[in-house]
C-alpha cells in the first residue's frame, strides 16, 4: 500500500482512446458468410452441397426459360426454331390461353362475363377479408352470388332475382318472428322463402332464357381454371355455415343430434374425396326423383361442400373447445338462451380462433378441386391432360403446361396462406 | 304451528314441450328423427324407383364373376380369369403397399427438411423453406402427374441401353431406370429350406424378430449392471453380432443369390420391376406430404422451450445427447398427433392412383370393375367401406403409439 502511495503512477490515460474499426474478418459480408454459411465443417459441406444443387437446377431451367418461344402454332415449329437448343415452347400457353382459363366450350365472345365476375368477386371479398373497409360494402357481398350466377350461366335475370327476393323475404321474416322465438323465426323464414320461390318460378315465362340479355351457357361448357375457382369459392362459402352447424351439433347435449353429426363428420373424414366424387358422378343421380335432371356441376358442388364442411366442423370444434368454460357460464348467467349465447358470445370468439384452420381447409379444398378431372370434368388439369396434350400440335409439351398450372395454383394458395398469417397477427388481441 | 308441505307437484302440460328447456330438447330430437326418417324414406324411395326403371337391383354376386382385365403391378397371383373380388384384393394390397412406402419416405423427407429448416446455415434453411412452400401450395395431383411424366417421357426406353455405345446405361450395372419402370436386383434363395419364396422370407423375418428379443434381453442386463455398478458395459459389439450373424448364417445356408436385371429382347428381364405409376405415386405422395411433416417437425422442436436445452447443457450433456434424451422425446409428443393425420392423408390421397393408372383399390374396384359391371352403388359403397376401415385402423394403431409417448401425469 505504502509503496504505491510513494511511487507516482507511471501512466494515467488522460483521454479516451479513439475507437478503432473492428477487424476486417468481423465485419460486413465476410462475417455474415462466415457465421451463416461456413461456421463449421459439416455446415460448410451442407452449403457447398446446396450451392451445387442450386446450380444444377438453375443451369437447366434458366436457359430453358430464356430461350422460350411464344409465337409458334405447334411444337414442331418450336423444335425447328430451337434447332436442338434447350428451350421452352411457351407458345402453347399463348395459343391455348383461353382454353386453359375457360375450358374449350365456353363461347369465345362471352369471356368478358367470367372476367367481370372475377373482378366483382374481389370487390365482394374485400369487406369480408379486410375489416377496416366500410361495412356498407357487405351489401354488395350479399348480392354478389346472384350476380355472379347470372353473369356466368347467363339466361334470364329473373331466376337470380327471384332467388334473391326469396332470401330477402326470409331474412325479414326471421327478423320479425325471431325476436320472440328463434325456432319460430327459423322455420317461418324457410316457409316464406319456399313460397316466394314457388310463386316466382311460376311468374317466369317459358323460354325466357333464350331471349335473355346474356345468352345461357350450360354447366357442362364450363372448364379450365375458371372451373377450379368456381368450385373453390362456391364450396368454401357454402361449407362454412354448414360446418358451424355441424360443430354446434356435435357439441349439443341432445344425443340424437349429436350422434347424427358425429357419424356424418367421421364418415366423411374417413373416405377420400375421390370416392365422394364417384358418388357425385355415378351414384347420386339414383337418389334424385326419376324425372329430375341435376347437372354434374351441382352434384359435384354438393359433394365437395359436404366434404369440406366436415373438416371445417372439426376446426370450429377446436375453436369452441379452446374457449374458457367461463364464457359459456357467463352467457348462461346473463339469462341468454342458446341461440343468443351462441350468436353474441360464443361463436364470435370461437370463429376468431378457428380462422387460420378454416383458411387451411380452404387452401386444401382449392387444391383438391383439381380432382374433378378424374371424373372427366375439364378443369385446368383436365384440359391439360385431355384436349391440349392429346392434340397433334401440342403432344409432348409437358413442362410448360404443368409448370403453368403449378405456378397458377401456387400464386393463389400462397397468397391465401400469407393472408391467413397476416390475419392471425392482426387478430392477436389475445387473452392476456 | 306450521306444517311443512311438499311443493305442489308440477303437472306435465303439453305446452312444456315447447316452453320448458327440460322438455324442449325432446321436441327438437323428435323433429330431427322425423326429418331424418323422411329424408331416408325419400332417398330410398327414389333409389328403388330409379333402379326399377333401369332394371337393376342391388346384388354383390358380380364379385364372383370373371374380371377379364389384367393388372400389371400385383403382389398376389392374378390374371384376367380371376374374379372381381380377386381384383379388389389386388387393389387393396396395392393401396396398402403404396401407402406404407409413402408413409416411411414422407417421414424421412419431413424430418430431414424440418430439422434442416432450423439449421443455422442460412442457405440450407432458406432452401428448405422454399421446398416446403412450393410443395404445400401446389395440388398433389399435379405433382403426381409431373413425376409420372418424368418417369414416362424423360427416362430412356430399354432400346437405348442396347448397342456398343448406348445412350443410357445401368447404374452400377444393377439398377435400370427405364420409361417402363425401374428394375432392381432381386434376392433369391438357391436352396431354400421351404419350397415357396414367401415362407423363406418369413423365416428370415422370424430370425430378425428373435434377434430383436435377444437384443432387448442384452440391453436389460446392461441397464441392470449400470444400476448396480454405475458403469454401463459396452454392448455395441454384442449387439452387432446378435443382429448380423444369425441372419448372415441363415442366408448362407439358403444360398442367397441376386438376380440382376438384364436386357433381353425388347425389354429388361429378371429382377424386381417397380412400375412407373407406382414410383410416381410413391414419390409424389412422399415429397408432398413430407413438406407438411417438415412443418410439424419444425413446430414440434420449436415448441420445446430453450430452457430445456440450456438445462441439459448445464448438466454437461453433449449436443447429440441433448437432442436424443431431452428435446426429441418431448418434441415427439407435439409431432405425433399431426403425423397421424398426415399418414391418414397419404392413405386417402393414394386413391389418386387412378390418374396415373396404378392399380389400387380405386382403380380396380372403383374404376374398371365399376365400368365393366355397371354396379355403381355396390362398388362405391365397398370402396368407402374399405377406406373407412383403413382410416379407423390406422388412427387406432397410431393412437396406441401416441398414448405410449404421452406425458405420464401422476
Q: How many CA atoms lie within 13 A of B99 on its CB side?
A: 24
Is the per-residue pLDDT at A25 higher than 90? no
Which A residues in the span 314-373 are in contact with B, Cβ-Cβ below 8 Å? 363, 367-368, 370-371, 373
Q: What is the mean pLDDT of chain B?
A: 84
> Cell 477487424 identifies what position?
A23
Q: Which CATH superfamily is domain B84-184+260-405 in?
A: MetI-like (1.10.3720.10)
Is the per-residue pLDDT at B195 higher than 90? no
What's the rounded Cα separation, in Å, for the pair A103 and A219?
11
Is the per-residue pLDDT at B135 higher than 90? yes
Grid cell at residue A414 = 400462397
What's the rounded Cα separation, in Å, for the pair A159 and A152?
13
Selecting from B25, B354, B370 the residue whose C-beta is nearest the C-beta of A374 gives B354
For the entire predicted model, the pTM comes to 0.86
Pairing state between β B181-184 and B256-259? unpaired
In chain A, domain spans: 27-56, 95-106+220-427, 155-213
- Choose the mutation target among B36, B137, B349 for the interface with A, i.e. most A CBs under 10 Å: B137
CA distance A278 to chain B (A): 7
| DSSP SS3 for B189 | strand
What's the rounded Cα separation, in Å, for the pair A195 and A199?
6
CA distance B28 to chain A (A): 8
What's the rounded Cα separation, in Å, for the pair A404 and A401?
5
What's the rounded Cα separation, in Å, for the pair A297 and A275?
16
CA distance B347 to chain A (A): 8
Contact A239, A201 (CB under 8 A): no
The pLDDT of A291-311, averaged and rounded, is: 90
Query: Does the distance separating the beta carbons of A271 and B387 come in below 8 Å?
Result: yes
Output the pLDDT for position B371.
Answer: 85
Helix or strand run (H / E) with residue A41: helix A41-66
pLDDT in tens, A169-221: 888 888 888 776 777 788 888 888 898 888 887 877 766 666 677 888 888 88
Query: Does the distance separating the beta carbons of B145 and A274 come in below 8 Å?
Result: no
Output the pLDDT for position A408.
Answer: 93
Selecting from B43, B49, B121 the residue whose C-beta is nearest the C-beta of A47 gives B121
Query: Does the distance separating the beta carbons of A371 and B377 come in below 8 Å?
Result: no
| DSSP SS3 for B268 | strand
Is the per-residue pLDDT at B337 higher than 90? no
Is the per-residue pLDDT at A381 higher than 70? yes
- ∠A245-A251-A256 over CA atoms, to 5°? 85
Pairing state between β B181-184 and B176-178? antiparallel
What's the rounded Cα separation, in Å, for the pair B83 and B68?
8
pLDDT in tens, B5-40: 666 666 777 777 777 777 878 888 888 899 999 999
Judged by a CB distance cut-off of 8 A, whether residue A258 touches chain B is no
**Closest to B328 (Cα-Cα) out of B120, B115, B144:** B115
Judged by a CB distance cut-off of 8 A, whether residue A307 touches chain B is no
**Would you say the ipTM is above 0.85?**
yes
Output the pLDDT for position B327.
Answer: 86
| DSSP SS3 for B256 | strand
pLDDT in tens, A256-282: 999 999 999 999 999 999 999 999 988
CA distance A292 to chain B (A): 11
Query: Does the distance separating the beta carbons of A406 and B146 come in below 8 Å?
Result: yes
What's the rounded Cα separation, in Å, for the pair A21 and A327?
60
Query: Does the distance separating the beta carbons of B121 and A410 come in below 8 Å?
Result: no
Detail the DSSP E strand segments found in A324-404: none
CA distance B142 to chain A (A): 7
Query: Does the distance separating the beta carbons of B376 and A282 come in below 8 Å?
Result: yes
**Closest to A93 (Cα-Cα) out of A421, A406, A430, A422:** A406
- ∠B293-A407-B124 over CA atoms, to 5°? 45
**Closest to B64 (Cα-Cα) out of B386, B357, B359, B375:** B375
Grid cell at residue B374 = 355397371
CATH level 3 topology of A95-106+220-427 = MetI-like fold (1.10.3720)
Contact B333, B406 (CB under 8 A): yes
Query: Does the distance separating the beta carbons of A53 and B142 come in below 8 Å?
Result: no
In chain B, domain spans: 16-54, 84-184+260-405, 186-258
Amino acid at each position: 500500500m505504502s509503496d504505491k502511495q510513494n511511487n507516482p503512477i507511471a501512466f494515467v490515460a488522460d483521454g479516451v482512446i479513439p475507437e478503432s474499426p473492428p477487424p476486417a474478418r468481423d465485419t460486413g459480408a465476410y462475417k455474415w458468410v462466415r457465421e451463416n454459411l461456413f461456421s463449421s465443417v459439416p455446415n460448410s459441406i451442407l452449403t457447398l452441397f446446396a450451392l451445387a444443387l442450386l446450380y444444377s437446377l438453375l443451369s437447366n431451367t434458366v436457359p430453358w426459360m430464356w430461350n422460350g418461344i411464344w409465337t409458334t402454332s405447334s411444337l414442331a415449329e418450336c423444335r425447328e426454331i430451337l434447332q436442338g437448343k434447350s428451350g421452352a415452347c411457351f407458345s402453347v400457353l399463348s395459343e391455348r390461353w383461353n382454353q386453359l382459363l375457360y375450358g374449350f366450350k365456353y363461347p369465345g365472345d362471352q369471356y368478358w362475363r367470367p372476367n367481370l365476375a372475377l373482378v366483382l368477386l374481389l370487390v365482394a371479398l374485400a369487406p369480408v377479408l379486410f375489416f377496416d373497409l366500410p361495412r356498407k360494402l357487405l351489401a354488395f357481398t350479399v348480392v354478389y352470388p346472384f350476380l355472379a350466377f347470372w353473369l356466368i350461366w347467363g339466361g334470364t335475370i329473373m331466376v337470380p332475382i327471384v332467388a334473391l327476393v326469396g332470401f330477402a323475404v326470409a331474412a325479414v321474416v326471421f327478423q320479425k318472428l325471431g325476436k320472440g322465438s328463434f325456432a319460430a323465426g327459423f322455420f317461418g323464414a324457410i316457409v316464406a322463402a319456399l313460397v316466394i320461390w314457388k310463386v316466382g318460378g311460376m311468374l317466369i315465362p317459358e323460354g325466357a332464357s333464350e331471349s335473355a340479355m346474356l345468352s345461357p351457357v350450360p354447366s357442362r361448357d364450363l372448364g379450365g381454371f375458371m372451373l377450379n375457382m368456381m368450385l373453390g369459392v362456391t364450396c368454401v362459402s357454402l361449407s362454412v355455415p354448414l360446418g358451424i352447424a355441424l360443430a354446434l351439433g356435435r357439441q349439443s347435449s341432445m344425443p340424437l343430434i349429436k350422434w347424427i353429426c358425429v357419424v356424418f363428420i367421421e364418415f366423411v373424414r374417413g373416405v377420400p374425396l375421390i370416392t365422394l366424387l364417384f358418388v357425385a358422378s355415378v351414384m347420386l343421380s339414383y337418389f334424385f326423383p326419376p324425372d329430375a335432371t341435376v347437372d354434374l356441376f351441382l352434384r359435384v358442388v354438393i359433394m365437395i361442400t359436404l366434404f369440406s364442411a366436415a373438416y371445417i366442423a372439426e376446426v370450429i370444434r377446436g375453436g369452441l373447445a379452446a374457449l374458457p368454460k367461463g364464457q359459456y357460464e357467463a352467457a348462461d348467467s346473463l339469462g341468454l338462451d342458446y341461440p343468443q349465447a351462441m350468436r353474441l358470445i360464443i361463436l364470435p370468439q370461437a370463429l376468431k380462433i378457428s380462422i387460420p384452420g378454416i383458411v387451411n381447409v380452404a387452401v386444401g379444398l382449392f387444391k383438391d378441386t383439381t380432382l374433378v378431372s378424374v371424373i372427366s370434368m375439364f378443369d385446368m388439369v383436365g384440359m391439360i391432360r385431355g384436349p391440349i396434350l392429346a392434340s397433334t400440335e401440342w403432344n409432348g409439351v409437358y413442362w410448360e403446361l404443368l409448370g403453368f398450372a403449378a405456378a397458377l395454383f401456387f400464386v393463389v394458395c400462397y397468397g391465401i396462406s400469407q393472408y391467413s398469417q397476416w390475419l392471425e397477427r392482426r387478430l392477436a388481441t389475445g387473452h392476456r | 304451528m306450521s306444517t311443512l308441505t311438499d311443493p305442489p307437484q308440477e303437472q306435465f302440460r303439453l305446452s312444456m314441450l315447447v316452453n320448458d328447456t327440460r322438455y324442449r330438447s325432446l321436441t327438437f330430437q323428435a323433429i330431427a328423427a322425423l326429418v331424418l326418417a323422411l329424408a331416408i324414406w325419400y332417398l330410398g324411395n327414389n333409389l328403388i324407383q330409379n333402379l326399377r326403371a333401369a332394371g337393376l337391383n342391388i346384388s354383390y354376386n358380380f364379385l364372383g364373376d370373371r374380371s377379364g382385365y389384367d393388372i400389371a403391378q400385383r403382389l398376389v397371383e392374378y390374371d384376367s380369369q380371376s374374379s372381381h373380388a380377386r381384383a379388389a384384393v389386388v387393389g387393396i394390397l396395392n393401396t396398402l403397399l403404396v401407402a406404407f412406402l409413402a408413409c416411411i419416405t414422407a417421414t424421412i423427407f419431413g424430418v430431414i427438411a424440418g430439422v434442416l429448416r432450423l439449421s443455422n446455415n442460412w442457405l440450407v434453411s432458406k432452401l428448405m423453406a422454399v421446398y416446403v412452400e412450393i410443395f404445400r401450395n401446389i395440388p398433389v395431383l399435379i405433382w403426381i402427374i409431373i413425376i409420372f411424366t418424368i418417369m414416362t417421357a424423360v427416362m430412356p426406353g430399354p432400346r437405348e441401353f442396347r448397342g456398343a455405345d448406348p445412350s443410357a446405361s445401368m447404374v452400377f450395372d444393377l439398377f435400370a431406370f427405364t420409361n417402363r419402370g425401374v428394375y432392381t436386383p432381386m434376392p433369391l434363395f438357391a436352396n431354400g429350406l421351404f419350397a415357396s419364396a414367401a415362407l423363406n422370407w418369413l423365416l428370415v423375418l422370424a430370425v430378425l424378430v428373435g434377434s430383436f428379443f435377444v437384443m432387448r434381453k442384452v440391453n436389460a442386463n446392461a441397464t441392470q449392471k449400470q444400476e448396480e455398478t454405475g458403469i454401463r458395459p459396452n454392448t455395441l459389439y454384442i449387439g452387432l453380432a446378435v443382429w448380423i450373424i444369425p441372419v448372415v448364417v441363415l442366408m448362407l445356408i439358403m444360398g442367397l443369390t441376386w438376380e440382376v436385371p438384364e436386357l433381353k429382347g425388347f425389354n429388361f428381364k429378371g429382377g424386381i420391376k417397380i412400375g412407373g405409376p407406382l414410383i410416381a405415386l410413391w414419390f409424389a405422395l412422399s415429397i408432398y406430404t413430407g413438406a407438411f411433416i417438415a412443418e410439424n417437425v419444425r413446430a414440434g422442436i420449436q415448441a420445446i422451450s430453450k430452457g430445456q436445452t440450456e438445462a441439459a447443457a448445464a448438466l454437461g450433456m453433449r449436443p447429440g445427447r441433448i437432442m436424443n434424451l431431452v428435446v426429441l422425446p418431448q418434441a415427439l409428443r407435439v409431432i405425433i398427433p399431426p403425423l397421424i393425420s398426415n399418414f391418414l392423408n397419404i392413405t386417402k390421397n393414394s386413391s389418386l392412383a387412378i390418374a396415373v393408372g396404378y392399380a389400387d383399390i380405386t382403380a380396380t374396384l372403383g374404376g374398371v370393375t365399376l365400368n365393366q359391371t355397371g354396379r355403381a352403388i355396390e362398388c362405391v359403397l365397398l370402396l368407402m367401406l374399405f377406406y373407412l376401415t383403413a382410416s379407423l385402423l390406422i388412427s387406432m394403431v397410431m393412437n396406441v403409439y401416441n398414448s405410449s409417448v404421452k406425458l405420464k401425469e401422476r
